[in-house]
Amino acid sequence: MKKLLAVSLALVLSGCGGGFDDMDAARPGGGIGNTGSDNNSPINPVEKTQWQYSSTSDSSGVFSLRATNYALNFYYDPQFANVKHRPWIQLEKRKSSSGAVTSTVAIFVNSNLSCTPSCKVAMNFDGNRATYEMRNSIDGVLVPINEFTENQLFNKFTTSNSAIVSLPIIGLSQPFDANFDLRGYDIKKMSF
């Protein structure tokens, strides 16, 4: 009887070990003993960028290139408490029929701004803070006051890794600091 019980117990125990192997194999990376490699995973994954690109063309070719970048944060509308706004910047290059290329910068805010007709807006590019003279072109849209400032800002937005733009929104107790991730700007997509 003891021999029969010992053999039965040995058979039962030998049949119990398989369940844990299945659980271990289901772990990310395959679990214990997985020495295989995932040849489909890239060594340098593609960097995710916040930039979005578009263009406009006609029968003579492309005449406008745009790069848009949305802020990483949002603010609540001072007039409508449940409405969120996310500011964005839009850079544009236009080519005239003569071949001349102009660059523009616009910051879309979607709220009334205390910038009439112009104001100094603090901006921080990669930790370097400066103020830039801007004007309220239409309700809720800031543009540089002149061509020199426009060229400066176009360069800053396309060569910096990050920006914080302090937006003078009417109805907020202080300017709203819009944070932008500027990494990954593709100059090829903005070249004619």
Q: 62: Cβ–Cβ under 8 A, 6 or more apart, which residues?
A: 55, 56, 95, 192
Matching residue, tokens 């070249």: 191
Where is mean pLDDT largest: 10-19, 65-74, 94-103, 107-116?
65-74
- pLDDT tens profile 81-139: 899 999 999 999 999 888 899 999 999 999 999 998 899 999 999 999 999 999 998 88
Residue 143: count other Cβ atoms within 10 Å of its Cβ.
18
Supply the mean pLDDT for the chain: 83
Strands 101-108 and 176-181: unpaired
Q: What percent of the chain has pLDDT over 90?
A: 63
**Predicted model pTM:** 0.73
DSSP state string for 144-186: ESSHHHHHHHHHHHHH-SEEEEEE-BTTSSS-EEEEEE-TT--
The predicted-structure confidence for 141-171, as pLDDT tens digits, reads as follows 999 999 999 999 999 999 999 999 999 999 9
